[in-house]
Amino acid sequence: MPNVSLRPIDQLARHWAADCRSAASADALERLAGIEPDVAALGAHDLGDVVAFLRDPPAGPAPRSAIPMPAASAVIRAMLRSQGVHPLVPRAILQAVLPGLVGVARRLGWGAGGEWTDGGAFFVDLLTTAWETIVEWSGDDRPYAVLDLLSAVRCRMRRQLLRHRAVVDHQAPVPDPGTAAGTCGAGSSDLDELARAIDAAVDGGLDTADASVLYAHRVLGYTLTELSALTGRSRRYLSERRDRATQALIA
């Protein structure tokens, strides 16, 4: 296992702790809630409350007397779409998806075999890539916002890793096929082959929601329980979509 420094995560946590309960955070939440009903429905006081909800959404059905709460996936979707209202909103998105980004880093071996001096340096690059992607997608309406984001980050970091390995092996650099979510560069692993097969199936007419679930489950490594928490969908619903996509691939 490569040397993994947790300092980038700790630094993010400290910076967020200093900002999340500030007046600016409350102002950002007020502006966001003013145009996004799913955010307003949380009844939060600031972005710190929003991120706390996203990191640990309530489990199980709410009491009949309770006001219905939006799914965490709907809140992230709204935040991504309307992040332009305040610069703290994209920072809140980054903090909310941090556990997922750690999962992506783990899936990529913390950059082992790449240009980074250790796993901490790799994770700093991964965080930068995630931030750039979040800001780049401002205004986009993505039903599977979290899955799209994690997929895009994995693909971009995977391409960077492959380019370095190609240089080390005195081979031609891997061509960059673009930056679309879910589209990874050339590679030799089974996961890369599967990712390309899913992408080709989407081009051939596979439902994008089915493809997103299969990609998240098989390529990103999320369990159906984790995906249920990320998307707000039931495990049965996700299982059906995954199975439908799998059948389309082997047909």
The pLDDT tens digits for 81-105 are: 999 999 999 999 999 999 889 988 9
**Domain-wise residue ranges, the chain:** 7-174, 188-251
> What confidence tier does 25 reach under pLDDT thresholds 50, 70, 90?
very high
Secondary structure (3-state) at 4: coil
- What is the assigned CATH class of domain 188-251? mainly alpha
Please give the model's pTM, rounded to 2 decimal places. Answer: 0.78
- Least confidently predicted of 8-12, 65-69, 198-202: 65-69
Asked if 147 and 212 count as a contact pair (C-beta separation under 8 A), the reply is: yes
Summarised one tens digit per residue, pLDDT across range 193-217 is 887 888 788 888 888 888 888 888 8
Question: 149-186, pLDDT tens digit by residue?
Answer: 988 898 889 888 877 666 666 554 444 434 444 445 44
Nearest alpha-carbon partner for 145 in 225, 76, 233 = 76
The tokens of 220 are what? 């990103």
